[in-house]
Amino acid sequence: MFDTKTVSLEWGGKTLTLETGRIARQADGAVLATYGETVVLCAVTAAKSVKEGQDFFPLTVHYQEKFSAAGRIPGGFFKREGRATEKETLTSRLIDRPCRPLFPEGFYNEINVICQVLSYDGETEPDIVAMIAASAALTISGVPFMGPIGAARVGFNTDGEYVLNPTVESALGEDGRLDLVVAATQDAVMMVESEAKELTEEEMLGAVMFAHEESRKVIGAIIDLAEKAAKDPWEVDVSDDTSDIKEKLRGIVGDDIAAAYKLTDKSARSDALNEARAKAKEAFAGEEPQTQMVANKAVKKLESEIVRGAIIKDGTRIDGRKLDQVRPIEAMVGLLPRTHGSALFTRGETQAICTTTLGTKDAEQMIDGLEGLSYSNFMLHYNFPPYSVGEVGRFGFTSRRETGHGKLAFRALRPVLPTVEDFPYTIRVLSDITESNGSSSMATVCGGALSMMDAGVPLTRPVSGIAMGLILEGDDFAVLSDILGDEDHLGDMDFKVAGSEEGITSLQMDIKVAGITQEIMTKALEQAKAGRAHILGEMAKALTGARTEVSKHAPRIETMQIDKSKIRDVIGTGGKVIREIVAETGAKVDIDDEGTIKISSSNADEIAAAKAWIEGIVEEAEVGKVYTGKVVNIVDFGAFVNFMGGKDGLVHVSEMKNERVDKPTDVVSEGQEVKVKVLEIDNRGKVRLSMRVVDQETGEELEDTRPPRENKPRGDRGDRGGDRRGPRGNRSRGGDRGGRRDGGSKGGDNDGPAEMPDFLKD
């Protein structure tokens, strides 16, 4: 029934298996990829015809993680997978970015690539498996895909060794310094995504080359599968010879386009280009619709040729800068009065307002994924409103692009964050792009670092970012620093590098052509290093390091450590005690399983009150020490006082004043605050307190002027007749009953019920 074809490869200490012919047979191409015990199914379908008027390539990639793959049921009300998570969106982009440039120009058939995680072993990351499965499915589907591509994850440990396909946790754990994902063809690297702990340019480039070498092994396996199971290739006519039309357009609008690209102001340049395009459109207004569409595309090609030619031949960029020159930078902090930290970062016509908000532990982001529930105390959110490029557009949910750019900035800044022990805050950075003309994600990195330092976040070092471009014509190439939007659109590479003065923290690269050599990447990294250093110098003019104090509007957090055995005392039965502390003091209290307590509030007095309360609960009372307490219960023979938060002691009526007190209520009332001295703690933990030896106004200890009682043997007490209580509620009246307590025969041998402390019997 099934015509199954399979190939296997020992790779990175595990077996990678690619299978087709058994599942999803109605798709144009379907591959089940297994690596370890992680299984991903990828199915590719392609439209057989092009929609009328279509002038772009509609490739859509969907990556989905099935919770059943990890033996879990989704959280939430509906209990099923819903809108794509951040990880699913980012992985979809990982697959899309290297595959899209490998389709021929002029191919406009719609293609769906759908990847589903069916099994997850908790160790093998499914994103790499999905990238491999997608490449294999496209390769055998028959569509004009100029692949295949391979993919690999690379780590770099503290011993200076590259590691193939580590888990994400180990890649950036205590012994890891790098989490890098590379996609590549047999001959060239196509895509790089990474987060690093300040690696040098040489170490980063070595990781990319290591990943490329390992990717070639996967490409070999995909080719073996294609030789067994590939469908006949499509015969697609993508010949798009527009040379005649392009030359005609050159005569009509060539000079206008060249003049437009000499304007340094983006708005003026955009207006001039629109006029040239309208002039070209008018020249072909009487032609067939297909010819008009070809003419529109030819205008774009003409623009690209003019710009690229000027850069390669004359080293002349659109805005007149040198190849390695960074646009003017203006950075300022403290822009907004009520935020915890804020910065305005402007580089040329790209601008970002970045704000930092500090929160407590309960503000952490909860992430529900295949690995289970996890929590993140650092978030970075990037927004790109349409007004930032002077356009009218949809304003709604976060786009894939916004998610991707925000994650890039997140990866760039996370390696320099302080540990939770050193800075116990939840940190949220918000970047609102207010102007954009190239590399708004790198503006977010710079503005985000400044806003965090303005908020008092003690970063290890400031971080800056820069976007590099490439123009490649045959053997000639030019690497551009701090590219404009048009240079990104018309160039061959988008190469973003972020890092501190010590090294790279994030690298992202997208290649539009096959042929990026190690020489080109080396030059781009070195040129980017100089650019980053320049930008760090401009940022230092606004702020050189983190402020020593957090904003007065931010919550204060104080950390204390208690013994694990005392955790239950602080929490109380059903959380009663900790809720009471929060309600009474107004401070937030978080306690973990290790006994670490974080007390937070914007009011220092509230923190002090909560801390004192907790210290009272966990601290052992000390005989002879004076405490402040509150009367919680009044009885006939005295008052019970709560002190040190969780301890009660008895102030006997005889210890309330130096003179005789008939009733405790004559001296104290419930809820009254009193100063008490610990007189005695018996072997059962019961505490005897005194008010009379403490000045109730100042809390100072007073001299005890009362003469000490004569101590008599207990057996003599029974001869006093009616001077002592018998069993609870009865008083001996007359000598005939003597000092009898539990029967006359015992006489004075028993002073009362066993549960009554000795100090209550005097």
The label of the residue with tokens 């320099």 reads 416
Which domain-ending residue is among 666, 687, 708?
708
Do 359 and 508 sit in the same domain of this protein? yes
| 324 in a structural domain | no
Position 241 scores a pLDDT of 61
Q: Indicate the range of 97-111, 306-320, 491-505 predicted with least confidence.
A: 306-320
Residues 679 and 730 in one domain: no
Examine the fold and report which residue of 614, 638, 657 is the final residue of a domain before the chain moves on: 614
What pLDDT sits at residue 75? 81
Contact 443, 484 (CB under 8 A): no
Interatomic CA distance for residues 366 and 376, integer angstroms:
7
Q: Are 218 and 129 in contact (CB under 8 A)?
A: no
Q: Show Cβ contacts of residue 602 under 8 Å, excluding neighbours closer than 6 positions.
A: 552, 553, 554, 555, 556
Q: Is residue 236 part of a domain?
A: no
Q: Which of 141-145, 227-231, 403-407, 728-732 has the lowest mean pLDDT?
A: 728-732
Residues 178 and 43 in one domain: yes
**CA pair distance 512, 640, nearest whole angstrom:** 80
CA 760 to each of CA 4, 402, 636, 650: distance values in angstroms, whole numbers, following the listed order: 90, 73, 11, 9
Query: Token pair of 406, please?
Result: 């925000």
Residues 401 and 534 placed together within one structural domain of the fold: yes
Of 285, 302, 292, 289, the residue nearest 243 (C-alpha): 302
Is residue 670 one of the residues assigned to a domain? yes
DSSP 678-720: EEEE-TT--EEEESTTB-TTT-PBPP--SPPPPP--GGGGGGG
Quote the number of domains for the chain. 6
Give me the residue label for tokens 């996890």: 374
- Taking the whole predicted model, whether its pTM rises above 0.75 is answered as yes
Q: Phi/psi at 743 (nearest 5 deg)?
A: 135, 135
Condensed to tens digits (0 to 9), the pLDDT of residues 230-250 reads 999 998 776 556 678 888 888
Domain boundary among the residues 496, 514, 540 is at 540
- Is the pLDDT assigned to residue 743 strictly greater than 70? no
Q: Is 363 exposed, middle or buried (0-12, 13-18, 19+ CB in 10 A)?
A: middle
- Whether residues 703 and 724 share a domain: the answer is no
Same domain, 527 and 580: no
Residue 546 within any structural domain of the chain: no
Give the tokens for residue 101. 């440039």
Token digits of residue 552: 């007065």
Report how far apart, in Å, the C-alpha atoms of 315 and of each of 257, 263, 436, 491, 527 are: 18, 16, 24, 14, 15
Which pLDDT does position 509 carry in this prediction? 92
Q: Which CATH number is 278's domain given? A: 1.10.10.400
Q: Is 447 left (phi over 0), alpha (psi -120 to 50) or beta?
A: alpha
549 is a domain residue: no
Residue 120 forms part of a structural domain? yes
User: Which segments of 220-335 are extended strands (E)?
Assistant: 329-333
Q: Domain range for residue 126?
A: 5-229
Cα–Cα distance, 29 to 46 (Å, whole number): 9
Peptide bond into 148 cis (omega under 30): yes
Q: Are residues 23 and 45 in the same domain?
A: yes
Judge if 588 and 629 occupy the same domain: no
Q: Do residue 610 and residue 627 come from a single domain?
A: no
3-state helix, strand, coil in the chain (%, to 5): 35, 25, 40
Is residue 147 in a domain?
A: yes
Q: Domain check: are 610 and 503 in the same one?
A: no
Number of alpha helices (DSSP H) and beta strands (DSSP E) in the chain: 14, 29
Angle between helix axes 86-99 and 400-413 (nearest 10 degrees) is 100
CB distance 273 to 260 below 8 Å: yes
Q: What is the CATH number of the domain that holds 337?
A: 3.30.230.70
% of the chain exceeding 90 in pLDDT? 57
What pLDDT, on the 0 to 100 scale, is given for residue 63? 97
* Residue 727 pLDDT exceeds 60: no
- Same domain (yes/no): 178, 31: yes
User: pLDDT digit string (tens) for 255-299?
Assistant: 888 888 888 788 888 889 889 888 888 888 877 777 777 788 888
H or E segment and range at residue 92: helix 86-99
103, containing H or E segment? none
pLDDT digits (tens, 9 = 90+) for 384-419: 999 998 888 888 788 999 999 999 999 999 999 999
Q: What's the confidence (pLDDT) of residue 240?
A: 58
d(CA 273, CA 268): 9
In a domain, 319, yes or no: no
Question: Do residue 609 and residue 630 come from a single domain?
Answer: no
In angstroms, rounded to a whole number, what is the distance separating the alpha carbons of residues 44 and 61? Answer: 9
Q: Is the pLDDT of residue 741 over 60?
A: no
CATH number of the domain bearing residue 678:
2.40.50.140
Task: Give the model's pLDDT for residue 493.
Answer: 87
The rounded mean pLDDT for the chain is 88
pLDDT at 728: 44
